């Protein structure tokens, strides 16, 4: 059902007659797509609540669905933990002899590089300070040490000690880039320019550059490394006081990061905090530096997509939302289509991240889908209201109220633009009405015609026909337009017969009252015509155009030659096999070259009468070219001089005409 409705909608759009309308509508819908995508993107990037919601969803996906990865083969973390500090009489500053010994051990183990995320901003025991300073100066392994400034909380004395203790070429800022909204570390700190104009890198960038790598020149999103399993950290971690006991193979060729792993000291929130409490989501700064180092070593991008791709996805879903909002579907069906698409987008995004490591935006494309669908639905509702107003104004006087109600319930089923369609057309005319109208004053003529039109209009509406227009005293009626009527040919014939009875009754009523009125002649034809709106920019009307309409009008005019009140074409008669007809002749209408067979519908009683049997026998002789036809029609004419059809053919035969084909020289 849904597919059929969408196909019908698309086929209507494809009609060449709709080109201008489609162009305007396409521009409007394209604007909906652009506005929806732009609004959705802005809402989840520049509006605080929206950006926080989008970030939370992204963090949730990252924490819940991050693909597992083996422990990094080249990055090792060495920590100063609570067990380490219990071996010394004071907790801070960290014992510098221990640090000096750790550096020597690491050098002996053949490590590739060392990063120390500990600030050396105040003196401790002089001999230990001297030992560490001397060890740093003589170390052959590439080394980077965290560094701070006064705007980072250090005073002038601390800065002076730090500048003396840590050589300038191994200094790197210890800063972590954290979100102002929730304090989560999400980017790698590249460094900044100092007061003297020099650019000082972050500590990770300093070590990476010493190792021959390419440090970042700007902030980049941090790609946290996945864990092998829930109980295994992404990096090998050893307490610093166990270094002397570790096999050389565990450290040789590794990049070692030294920092603290202490409660309430240098701990930072990560995206994993949305689902992991405590240690799982709040981790030491040295571990964040390890994630940054691993990412830069592998030249790996963060899983988040670029802004350009996110905007593209917003445009894509906004387009889908617009199509669904514009489709001629009920609200229930739109939900049945839209909700699975939205659920599919969320589920698909999760699958893409878990399986491929690409973190698609969840909320902004969905918002674009909803906004675009809502805007398109409002537009479609406005179109429907406008269409209903147009239909009501255009057809209220031409179709019965019951038909108009059905059309208004489903205006999409009505074609108000031009199309080719088979229709049945009735034309009527009142004989000698011009002479009659000249004998009446304006008020009398108006009263008489209004009464007549009321009678015939009611008949047309009873058979659900479209009263296209009044033409003087005549009617132009069509069936199967605008509303489709599969039985239009049968319905039209029944209507024509009812019109004949009603007009005869009206005529007799007027005569009985001492007045005068003419016989109503009726012509009926079934054929294909162009139906729809025709006219100018300023004024147009719904009507039918084509040769079939002209033919119906000419068939009505034939009644005055045959002396009949109702004449139909073979095309209509063939569609009414249950009705009896008497053939009138094959007529070549004025301006035509091919004859068209004309018939008169008969009641069952008349069809079974001896007069009709005799007529059919004479007509068969006429058809066969039998000379006896003249005598047969003479007998019929003398028996019933009032039969205009018999008189028509008898006069033809007397004039020397033969056969059925009659060529008309006037309308």
Question: Rounded to 5 degrees, what are φ and ψ at 8?
Answer: -60, -45
Strands (E), 445-550: 466-471, 474-479, 520-535, 540-545
Q: How far apart are CA 578 and CA 580, in angstroms?
A: 7
Q: What is the pLDDT of residue 442?
A: 87
In 10 A of CB 68, how many CB atoms?
12
DSSP classification of residue 496: H
CA distances from 280 to 59, 187, 270, 287, 575 (A): 13, 19, 9, 12, 82
Instruction: Return the residue matching tokens 């269409």.
Output: 387
Q: What is the pLDDT of residue 472?
A: 85
CATH class of this structure's domain 399-577: alpha beta
Strands (E), 270-394: 282-284
pTM over 0.75? The answer is no
Closest CA to 106 of 243, 207, 247, 235: 243
Beta strands 520-535 and 474-479 are unpaired
CA distances from 554 to 276, 294, 524, 560, 577 (A): 88, 91, 10, 11, 24
All structural domains of the chain with their residue ranges: 23-63+305-391, 68-298, 399-577, 581-667
Q: How far apart are CA 527 and CA 548, in angstroms?
A: 6
**Angle separating helix axes 644-654 and 610-624, nearest 10 degrees:** 30
Mean pLDDT taken over the chain: 88
In 10 A of CB 641, how many CB atoms?
11
Strand partners, 265: 262
Instruction: Return the residue matching tokens 């005055």.
Output: 560
Contact assessment for residue 507 and residue 416, using Cβ atoms and an 8 Å cutoff:
no
Beta strands 474-479 and 419-430 are antiparallel
- Tokens encoding 198: 């020099």
DSSP classification of residue 68: P
Q: Which residues contact 385 (CB under 8 A, 6 or more apart)?
A: none
Distance of CA 16 to the CA centre of its chain: 22
292-308 residues labelled b (16+ CB within 10 A) or e (exposed):
bbbbbbeeeebbbbeee
- The alpha-carbon radius of gyration of the chain (Å, integer) is 47
Contact assessment for residue 376 and residue 368, using Cβ atoms and an 8 Å cutoff:
no
157-166 residues labelled b (16+ CB within 10 A) or e (exposed):
ebbebbeebb
Which residues does the chain have with pLDDT short of 70? 1-23, 150, 277-279, 383-417, 535-540, 665-667
Q: How far apart are CA 509 and CA 512, in angstroms?
A: 5
CA distances from 61 to 58, 271, 274, 346 (A): 5, 9, 10, 10
Q: How far apart are CA 345 and CA 40, in angstroms?
A: 16
Beta strands 520-535 and 566-569 are parallel
Q: Which residues contact 300 (CB under 8 A, 6 or more apart)?
A: 223, 294
Question: Rounded to 5 degrees, what are φ and ψ at 361?
Answer: -65, 135
| Cα dihedral sign, 223-226-232-235 | negative
- For the chain, the 3-state helix, strand and coil shares in percent, each to the nearest 5, are 50, 20, 30
Q: What is the pLDDT of residue 161?
A: 95
Q: What is the pLDDT of residue 600?
A: 97
- Write the DSSP string, 208-254: HHHTT----SS-EE--PPPPSBTTB-SSEEEEGGGGGGS-GGGTTT-
Q: What is the pLDDT of residue 17?
A: 44
Contact assessment for residue 51 and residue 44, using Cβ atoms and an 8 Å cutoff:
yes
Strand partners, 568: 524, 599
- Write the DSSP string, 121-147: -S---HHHHHHHHHHHHH--S-EEEEE
In 10 A of CB 594, how many CB atoms?
8
């Amino acid at each position: 059902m849904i597919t059929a409705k969408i196909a019908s909608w698309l086929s209507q759009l494809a009609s060449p007659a709709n080109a201008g309308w489609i162009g305007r509508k396409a521009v409007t819908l394209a604007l909906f797509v652009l506005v929806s995508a732009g609004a959705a993107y802005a809402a989840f990037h520049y509006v605080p609540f929206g950006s926080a919601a989008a970030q939370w969803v992204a963090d949730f996906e990252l924490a819940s669905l991050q693909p597992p990865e083996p422990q990094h083969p080249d990055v090792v973390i060495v920590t100063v933990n609570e067990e380490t500090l219990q071996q010394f009489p004071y907790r801070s500053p960290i014992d510098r002899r221990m640090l000096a010994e750790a550096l020597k051990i690491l050098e002996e183990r053949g490590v590739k590089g060392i990063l120390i995320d500990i600030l050396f901003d105040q003196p401790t025991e002089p001999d230990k300070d001297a030992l560490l300073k001397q060890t740093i100066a003589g170390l052959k392994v590439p080394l980077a040490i965290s560094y701070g400034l006064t705007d980072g909380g250090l005073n002038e004395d601390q800065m002076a000690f730090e500048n003396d203790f840590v050589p300038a070429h191994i200094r790197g800022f210890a800063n972590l880039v954290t979100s102002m909204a929730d304090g989560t570390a999400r980017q790698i700190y590249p460094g900044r320019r100092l007061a003297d104009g020099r650019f000082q890198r972050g500590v990770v960038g300093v070590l990476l550059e010493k190792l021959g790598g390419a440090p970042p020149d700007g902030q980049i999103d941090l790609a946290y490394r996945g864990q092998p399993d829930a109980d295994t950290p992404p990096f090998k971690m050893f307490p610093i006081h166990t270094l002397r006991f570790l096999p050389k193979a565990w450290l040789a060729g590794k990049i070692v990061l030294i920092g603290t792993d202490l409660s309430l000291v240098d701990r930072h929130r990560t995206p994993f905090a949305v689902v992991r409490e405590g240690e799982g989501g709040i981790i030491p700064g040295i571990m964040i530096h390890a994630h940054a180092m691993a990412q830069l070593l592998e030249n790996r991008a963060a899983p988040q997509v670029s802004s350009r791709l996110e905007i593209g996805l917003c445009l894509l879903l906004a387009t889908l939302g617009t199509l669904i909002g514009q489709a001629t579907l009920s609200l229930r069906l739109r939900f049945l289509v839209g909700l699975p698409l939205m659920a599919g987008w969320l589920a698909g995004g999760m699958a893409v991240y878990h399986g491929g490591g690409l973190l698609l935006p969840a909320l902004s494309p969905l918002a674009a889908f909803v906004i675009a669908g809502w805007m398109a639905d409002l537009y479609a509702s406005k179109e429907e209201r406008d269409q209903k107003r147009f239909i009501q104004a255009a057809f209220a006087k031409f179709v019965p109220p019951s038909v108009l109600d059905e059309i208004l319930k489903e205006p999409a089923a009505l074609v108000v633009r031009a199309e080719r369609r088979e229709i049945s057309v009735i034309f009527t005319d009142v004989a000698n009405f011009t002479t009659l109208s000249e004998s009446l004053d304006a008020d009398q003529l108006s009263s008489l015609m209004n009464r007549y039109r009321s009678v015939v209009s009611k008949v047309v509406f009873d058979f659900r026909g479209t009263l296209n227009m009044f033409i003087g005293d005549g009617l132009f009626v069509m069936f199967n337009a605008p509303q489709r009527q599969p039985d239009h040919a049968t319905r039209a014939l029944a209507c024509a017969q009812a019109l004949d009875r009603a007009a005869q009754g009206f005529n007799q009523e007027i005569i009985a009252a001492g007045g005068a009125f003419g016989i109503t002649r009726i012509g009926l034809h079934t054929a294909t015509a162009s139906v729809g709106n025709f006219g100018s920019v300023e004024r147009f009307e719904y009507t039918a155009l084509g040769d079939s309409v002209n033919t119906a009008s000419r068939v009505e005019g034939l009644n005055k030659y045959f002396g009949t009140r109702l004449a139909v074409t073979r095309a209509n008669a063939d569609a009414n096999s249950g009705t009896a007809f008497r053939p009138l002749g094959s007529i070549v209408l004025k301006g035509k070259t091919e004859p068209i067979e004309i018939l008169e519908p008969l009641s069952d009683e008349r069809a079974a009468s001896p007069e009709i049997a005799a007529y059919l026998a004479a007509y068969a002789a006429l058809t066969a070219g039998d000379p006896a036809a003249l005598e047969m029609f003479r007998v019929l004419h003398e028996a019933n001089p009032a039969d205009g059809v018999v008189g028509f053919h008898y006069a033809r035969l007397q004039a020397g005409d033969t056969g059925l084909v009659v060529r008309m020289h006037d309308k």
